[in-house]
Amino acid sequence: MKIIISEDILEYTQAYFKEIELKHFFSQYLYRPEIPVIHYKLSETQDGIKMQYQMQSQESDLKIPIKVRVGNQTIKIIAENKLKSLLLETDKCSDVQILKNLYLLDFVIQP
């Protein structure tokens, strides 16, 4: 039986998963009302599908790894508050699926 405060959980969790930086995660999700938004765009190029993405969050140093399915493969992208881009080895935008139901994030696809 324990009586605790939130910070006990945050400290315990950070110590348990010490290789993952969780300070900004907890700051964003527990101390602020908003959730991060991921803006992304998929465009066809000669070399494959170009994915551009950027997270918009109140915690400027927050980074969240997000799983993306590309055809039969699953890759991870690291979303943060700067515009990033990568080339995916597929020729169809429909092959690219962000696993949105794993994260409390809002996703906005850019035209």
Partner 1 sequence: MACQGDGASLWWPCKDHLSDEPNTTVIKITVPDTLKAVANGRLITDRREGKGKHSFTWAVSYPINSYNINVNVGNYVHFNDTYTANDGAKLDLDYYVLPYNLEKAKKHFRQVHDVLGCFEEFFGKYPFWEDGYKLIETSYLGMEHQSAIAYGNLYRRGYLGDRIPKDMNFDYIILHESGHEYFGNSVSASDLADMWIHESFTTYMEALFVECQMSYSAAVRYLEYQRPFIRNEEPIIGVRGVNWHKRVTTSDQYYKGSWILHTLRSIVDDDDRWKAYLKKFVQRI
> Residue 108 interacts with partner 1 (CB under 8 A)?
no
**Which residues inside 80-99 make contact with partner 1, applying CB under 8 A?**
99
Packing angle of the helix pair 23-31, 6-16 (nearest 10 deg) = 150
Strands (E), 10-63: 37-45, 48-56
Whether residue 62 contacts residue 78, with contact meaning beta carbons closer than 8 Å, is answered with no
Phi and psi of 74, rounded to 5°?
-115, 125
Instruction: Give min distance, CB of 12 to partner 1, in A.
Output: 5
Site track for partner 1 across 40-79, x = CB under 8 A: ------------------------xx-x--------x---
E strand or H helix that includes residue 23:
helix 23-31
Binding site for partner 1 (CB under 8 A): 1-6, 8-9, 12-13, 16-17, 20, 22, 25, 29-35, 64-65, 67, 76, 99, 101-105
